[in-house]
């Protein structure tokens, strides 16, 4: 599997958290272990794309994303 680096431009507020709290911060930002750079998990992108397809092309949602 080959890793690729992408630049994302968010049009609204974006917070991809880890789901674990280890102190004062309620929802820490997800970061890569090696570089400590913020990351956006693929599952987050898939969810956003699925929601947009469901709104704009409801008949294609199941074909593209499965049940």
What is the value of pTM for the model shown?
0.61
In a domain, 7, yes or no: no
Residue 25 confidence (pLDDT): 60
Q: What are phi and psi of 29, to 5 degrees?
A: -70, 140
Which range marks the domain in which residue 32 is found?
27-67
Which tokens go with 19?
């789901």
Is 45 within 8 Å of 56 (Cβ atoms)?
no
Which tokens go with 53?
């397809």
> How does pLDDT run along the chain (67 residues), one tens digit per residue?
787 888 888 887 777 877 666 666 667 788 888 988 888 888 888 888 898 899 999 888 888 888 8
In a domain, 5, yes or no: no
- 12 secondary structure, DSSP code: S
Domains in the chain: how many in total?
Answer: 1
């Amino acid at each position: 599997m080959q890793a690729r680096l992408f630049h994302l431009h968010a049009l609204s507020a974006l917070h991809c958290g880890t789901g674990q709290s280890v102190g004062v911060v309620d929802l820490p930002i997800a970061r890569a272990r090696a570089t400590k750079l913020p990351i956006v998990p693929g599952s987050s992108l898939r969810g956003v794309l699925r929601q947009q397809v469901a709104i704009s092309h409801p008949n294609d949602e199941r074909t593209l994303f499965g049940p």
